[in-house]
Amino acid sequence: MIRIGKPKSDLKLPLGPGAWIVYREATSVDREAALHGAREFFKAMRAGARAMSEYGFDIGSAAALDADDGLAQGVSKLIFNTELFMRCVSAWEGVGDADGAPLEMTRENVSVLLKDEVRYTIISSALEARLVTMDEEGNGSAPLPNGAVAGASPIAEPAAS
């Protein structure tokens, strides 16, 4: 049975002592929107309309990204995950500045949190779990026009006519 419209419950993900986020797993719509957000960021940044500081970067201008493909890929991935976070996370607790004062959930603060490799891995794995499963499943059991499953071999010889 396929259940359509089944409400998705929010999940709580611990990030460390006293810190957690409330999230829902990303959908393909969330992934496309996050990709679009990252592309738009780069377009606007190259046009001079947006600053790297919106995402907590202090690497200079777009010229730094043009000169270093690895840096550009890393920044792109971080922006994508920040956008996905902003779409799928509804609350966080226990995330504060150097003095322990609670921080608001802004793109800059999320990006700083995601710059920590351990937190990045925990959060991105949780948000993208369903998407990874769908990608791994692929299209391996798509039906063929004659009704047989793709890649399946017949289990019996055809009947005599």
Contacts 24+ apart (CB under 8 A), 61-65: none
Is the model's pTM score more than 0.95?
no
| Tokens of residue 150, six digits | 């793709």
- Rounded CA-CA distance 72/7 in Å is 37
Exposed/middle/buried for 30, CB within 10 Å: 0-12, 13-18, 19+?
buried
**pLDDT tens, position by position, 121-150:** 999 999 998 887 766 666 555 555 555 555
- Per-residue confidence at 68, pLDDT binned at 50, 70, 90? confident
Q: For residue range 69-103, list pLDDT tens digits in order.
A: 888 888 889 999 999 999 999 999 999 999 999 99
In angstroms, rounded to a whole number, what is the distance separating the alpha carbons of residues 58 and 143?
A: 51
